[in-house]
Structure 1
């Protein structure tokens, strides 16, 4: 990796030293306040078409990457100026297309965006993707048995998510409706007795209509220092609006942040998910923690509790420590009988955009079976 980074850095330094235009370009990425590398000016003032590299470190699909082309209709500075009139910080309208692939053969192409309307009383978020994802099925509510650790499967088809949100009065609360549509060919050996799946648990088409109630009082959407965000979601899949089977999916989560000292911020996360009815196996909740591959611990119910401490060692550099625990239960065990999956790790952050409060960095997480590296941009929780 270093062999790829060093020539690029050397080229940039030579360009700055010998080419006046290159020097002016580099100056745009130096903070005039402290002389450190900073992309605030580029992010705050830039609009139009922007290339965005994609880095994938999810252990369920392996390392990979891609490229997206993003169109920003109004800059963050323009949004901040408008906020003086409305009293609310409205995110820029953003649209993008892109593609990515990973080392295990997973591929995806996507398009989507987000927009605000009527002085940020309404918001839309949406996207559509064509995917060919290679994953592992570890069983529902426990190991597969027979010495088999997992069964490989593929999800090949289309995914779409569309959501409209309405601000409640002048508050930080939002009420929204969503439509999720999946048309996926799930290639898994259903005749394998270890899979223990019924035919309706491998349904191809899922169409769900849902409601969401959201709150967001964080001081920063990128790397918060105080405040909290949370949501209650319920999505109903039914043949009446295009689903092969009838089931329901629920989620409730809270991410809260406290400045416990002048240079330290404590973040806490509580996240619960559930599914009922004729649920396709790939739609069942799973324990979502750093260090644990997606889908590794899966059942009708999951719960996660996680804490993260960020210590700002200097104004630009911070150290991270995190600890999380998750449970999956429902199919064959009660909550009290389920075993916990613990994940812990450390990392570092660099304040790459001081004006926006955006930190980036690297996390090392150790789960029950895997050690994983993650590249983080902003907050790790989604």
Structure 2
């Protein structure tokens, strides 16, 4: 499920240091025997302005460890829209500007009854040689899946008692390269909405109406030379990873997930930037049907096109209209292969695209926020973006 958010005014602020006071000139000391008090701290709204251009900006709050409450407006048609709230904390290491520790807690509820809440943290240890990510969550997700024998879709609900995901990547001497272990543990109860379901094959129906424990350990290899981890303008973020769900790790079923993803950014002119996303995913073994990879493009309904193999690519072109504002256009294509289990049909080429705009909401962190308007096979949809649109996939 794709969730996009804009920023709201912060509820908590971090005080800015007072400006250094200058001594009064000698000829003024008798007329003003008492030195003036230190200037007061900036007012509420003054702290939301950038000292360089005077524009609305959250840099001073976020860079010093402040947080933002972020309303979450869910526009994904697959869950009938929804709303939520997140508190996001950012802290930049002054000696290593690219090392930004991010912490977030969030909760949401959607129009079809789905809900969830959880916490996430990404940071650095050992002087930046190790970067880690960990997230925990709980909730209920109702979606539709579209197997070959039910092209109109079958609705199902997964009740997650818990989900725990994490990674720890050690950086080599060339810090652009890193590698390390991955973990993914979940407990969920799945059920079918039999009210609109056709006669289902036993092998498919057997994935539902039961409690499932998944336990996966894996390994990832990463390359990252982006100029900014939140809203990149140059560089590449690429990784290969595999997660092995096995009984030895507490999983009820043995299956493996593979992923290769690449996100590249560059400037092609002073005001023009280009970005490209390449994504390939595969699943093998005794996997639950609803865990099969699906096409993830702006304008494509989440989970609409699934298969044992998935490949997609998206291209984005941005024009910097001013130091703060930019306009962009994007388009992508994806395809799934049903594989030898034949639960899903081959999707064929699926196209989607659209336009959007961004505002540089935190200049010192290089952070943008904005809106994308996309059109795909299911019609029109819009997304509220915080950071780059591909942030959820980039590692």
Paired position in structure 2 for 1:136: 144
Highest RCO, 1 vs 2 (Cα 8 Å, sep ≥ 6): 2
3-state DSSP class of the match of 2:63? helix
User: Is the Cα contact below 8 Å between 1:144 and 1:195 reproduced in 2?
Assistant: no
Deviations 1:179-215 (A, max 9, x none): 1112111112588435674355447221111100011
Cα drift, residue 98 of structure 1: 2.8
2:388 aligned with 1:368: no
Tell me the distance in 1 between the aligned counterparts of 2:221 and 2:149.
Answer: 35
64, 69, 72: which one aligns with 1:54: 72
The correspondence of residues 342-353 of structure 1 with structure 2, limited to 5 A, is 342-353=351-362
Matched, 1:175 2:179: yes
1:65: Cα distance to partner? Answer: 2.3
Matches within 5 A, 1:83-98: 83=96, 89-92=98-101, 94-98=102-106
Q: TM-score, normalised by structure 2?
A: 0.81
- The answer to whether the aligner puts 1:292 opposite 2:292 as a matched pair is no
Alignment of 1:307-318 (within 5 A): 307-318=315-326
| Cα distance change of structure 1 residues 223 and 98 upon mapping to structure 2, 3 Å threshold | closer
Name the CA distance, whole Å, in 2 between partners of 1:171 and 1:339: 39
Asked if the contact 2:306/2:338 (under 8 Å) is kept, the reply is no
Q: CA separation of 1:318/1:121 partners in 2, compared to 1, >3 Å: closer, same or farther?
A: same
Give the conservation status (yes or no) of the 8 Å contact 1:275–1:300: yes
Query: What secondary structure, in the 3-state scheme, does the structure 2 residue paired with 1:282 have?
Result: helix
Distance (whole Å) between structure 2 residues aligned to residue 46 and residue 96 of structure 1: 12
Which residues of 2 match residues 327-346 of structure 1 at below 5 A? 327-331=335-339, 338-346=347-355
Over 3 Å counting, the alpha-carbon distance change for 1:50 and 1:362 in structure 2 is closer
Considering fraction of residues, name the structure with more helix.
1
Alpha-carbon contact 1:324-1:343 (below 8 Å) kept: yes
Unaligned runs of 5+ in 2: 1-8, 10-39
CA distance in structure 1 between the aligned counterparts of 2:285 and 2:205, rounded to whole angstroms: 13
* Aligned-residue offset at 1:341: 0.7
Matched with 2:54 is 35
Secondary structure in 1 aligned to 2:253? coil
SS in structure 1 opposite 2:60?
Answer: helix
Deviation at 1:274, TM superposition (A): 0.3
Whole-Å separation in 2 of the counterparts to 1:286 and 1:256: 21
TM-score if structure 1 supplies the norm length?
Answer: 0.84
The offset of 1:294, in angstroms, is: 1.2
Q: Provide, for residues 121-146 of structure 1, a one-character-per-residue CA deviation record: whole Å limited to 9, x for no partner.
A: 1122111111111111112xx4624x
From 141, 165, 168, give the equivalent of 1:164: 168
Q: Which has the larger radius of gyration?
A: 2
Tell me, yes or no, if the aligned pair for 1:116 and 1:122 is still in contact at 8 Å: yes
CA–CA distance in structure 1, aligned partners of residues 254 and 357 of structure 2 = 44
Q: Aligned partners of 2:42, 2:89: CA distance in 1, in Å?
A: 27
> Would the aligned equivalents of 1:211 and 1:233 in 2 still touch at CA under 8 Å?
yes
Cα RMSD over matched residues?
Answer: 2.4
- Encode CA deviations 1:233-287: one digit per residue, 9 max, x unaligned: 1011111211111111000011001101100100011100000111111211000
2-structure distance, mates of 1:348, 1:71? 24
Identify the match of residue 324 of structure 1 among 317, 332, 338.
332
Alignment partner, residue 357 of structure 1 = 366
Query: How far off its partner does 1:59 sit?
Result: 2.3
Pick closer, same or farther for the CA change 1:23–1:112 going to 2, 3 Å. Answer: closer
Asked if structure 1 preserves the Cα contact closer than 8 Å seen for 2:98 and 2:228, the reply is no
Contact 2:62 2:89 in 1 (8 A): no
Unpaired runs of 5+ residues, structure 1, are 1-7, 9-20
1:222 is displaced (CA, Å) by 1.5
Q: Distance in 2 between matches of 1:181 and 1:316?
A: 41
Q: What SS does structure 1 have at the residue aligned with 2:301?
A: coil
CA deviation map 1:299-347 (0-9, x unaligned) = 00000011000101122211110000000113378xxx75111001001
**Alpha-carbon separation, structure 2, partners of 1:251 and 1:213:** 11
Aligned match of 2:63 in 23, 30, 44? 44
Q: Cα distance 1:137–1:22, how it changes in 2: closer, same or farther (>3 A)?
A: farther
Matches within 5 A, 1:160-239: 160-188=164-192, 192-194=198-200, 197-198=203-204, 201-202=207-208, 204-239=212-247
